[in-house]
Chains A and B, each alone.
Chain A
Amino acid sequence: MREDDKKGDAMSTTTELTISRIFDAPPELVYRAFADADQIGQWFGPVGYTVPFESVTSDAEVGGHQRLVMVNDDDPTDRSTIDMTFTEVVENELLAGHQDVQGIPGTTGTERFHLRLEFHAEPGGKTRLELRQGGFREPLGDGAAEGWESSFTRLDSLLRRSL
């Protein structure tokens, strides 16, 4: 392993979630399951949550948005709103951008994540999905420290809830 890779790994463990997963369907189908408004709501979110069909809009092009609401089946007041802004789109290959998420349990206000989804063709008509999600905004300057501080406050309350 090159030294640069080791450095990258050390830092990515603190700031990024990466998931690699194989789906038994070709990239154009997996891509559409993410990009199409009439598909994403059918599978996105934890068990016990529903994405109302009418809450979903999706415009998978650079500068376009994908918006949806997740509602807790047992408690309709438990709702999360996700607003994804696409910054990179290559049909059947790549969806990337940032998500503004409101209503994560234990948080107030809006959390912003960056999200990158790569769709790689694999033998046998399968797809390898590579997901990278950043949990915190990068500190950009003086104002950033305050943003981090409020994130920590929310994180603290999240952790207390889970204890």
Chain B
Amino acid sequence: MAADQLSVIFAALADPTRRAILARLAVGDATVTELAEPFSISLPAISRHLKVLEKAGLISRSRSGQWRSSTLQAAPLGEATAWMEQYRRFWDVSFDRLDAHLRRVQQHRAGQAPSGDGTAP
């Protein structure tokens, strides 16, 4: 995915109302009226948010009868999280080293235990 498209996705995700809309759509498709319900903002304002989300490819909109409903598109969210994988790799490698470190610490303690017991009364 082009970096420009990622910028559009992250810009779309930067707004708390739009994130709340995505959270609602994760539960199921919804119309503009249904999406506007939890917010104290107008239907046109919700529509503007939906346009931003649609442009980012995060939702698709379809017209069934007179109601236009919105659907969450999960794929771009996956692209947006791909960058986080480098941090996951950072921890995975660190934790492999931590495994080895903990083995050394435990061997060291096991090696010390007999002499410690020997000095006990």
Q: Could you tell me which A residues sit within 8 Å of B by CB distance? A: 3, 6-7, 9-11, 13-14, 17, 19, 21, 23-25, 29-30, 33, 39, 42-47, 129, 131, 133, 135, 139, 144-145, 148-149, 151-152, 155-156, 158-160
Give chain A residues whose Cβ lies under 8 Å from the Cβ of B4.
156
Nearest residue, chain A, Cβ from B102: A25
Is the C-beta of B43 less than 8 angstroms from some C-beta in chain A? no
Are B101 and A33 within 8 A (Cβ)?
Answer: yes
Given contact pairs A3-B27, A6-B26, A155 touches B87 in the complex (Cβ within 8 A): no
Given contact pairs A10-B22, A135-B84, A139-B14, A156 touches B7 in the complex (Cβ within 8 A): yes
Nearest residue, chain B, Cβ from A19: B91
- State how many angstroms separate the Cβ of A26 from the closest Cβ of chain B: 9
Give chain B residues whose Cβ lies under 8 Å from the Cβ of A155.
3, 6-7, 10, 83
Q: Could you tell me which B residues sit within 8 Å of A by CB distance? A: 3-4, 6-7, 10-11, 13-16, 19, 22-24, 26-27, 72, 77-78, 80-81, 83-84, 87-95, 97-103, 105-106
Nearest residue, chain A, Cβ from B91: A19
Q: How many A-B residue pairs have CB under 8 A?
A: 108
Are A23 and B98 within 8 A (Cβ)?
Answer: yes
For the complex, would chain A's binding face be called helix, strand, loop or mixed by DSSP majority?
helix
For the complex, would chain B's binding face be called helix, strand, loop or mixed by DSSP majority?
helix
Give chain B residues whose Cβ lies under 8 Å from the Cβ of A30.
98, 102
Give chain B residues whose Cβ lies under 8 Å from the Cβ of A47.
93, 97
Give the contacting residue for A17; candidates B23, B87, B98; CB below 8 A.
B87
Residue of B14, B15, B83 with most chain A CB atoms under a 10 A cut-off: B14
Give chain A residues whose Cβ lies under 8 Å from the Cβ of B14.
139, 144-145, 148
Are A23 and B27 within 8 A (Cβ)?
Answer: no
Query: How far apart are the CA atoms of A23 and B89 in the complex, in Å?
Result: 17
Are B7 and A152 within 8 A (Cβ)?
Answer: yes
Query: How far apart are the CA atoms of A159 and B85 in the complex, in Å?
Result: 12
Give the contacting residue for B3; candidates A42, A144, A160; CB below 8 A.
A160
Are A14 and B77 within 8 A (Cβ)?
Answer: yes
Query: How far apart are the CA atoms of A133 and B10 in the complex, in Å?
Result: 18
Are B101 and A39 within 8 A (Cβ)?
Answer: yes
Give the contacting residue for A43; candidates B10, B87, B98; CB below 8 A.
B98
Give chain A residues whose Cβ lies under 8 Å from the Cβ of B7.
152, 155-156
- State how many angstroms separate the Cβ of B83 from the closest Cβ of chain A: 6
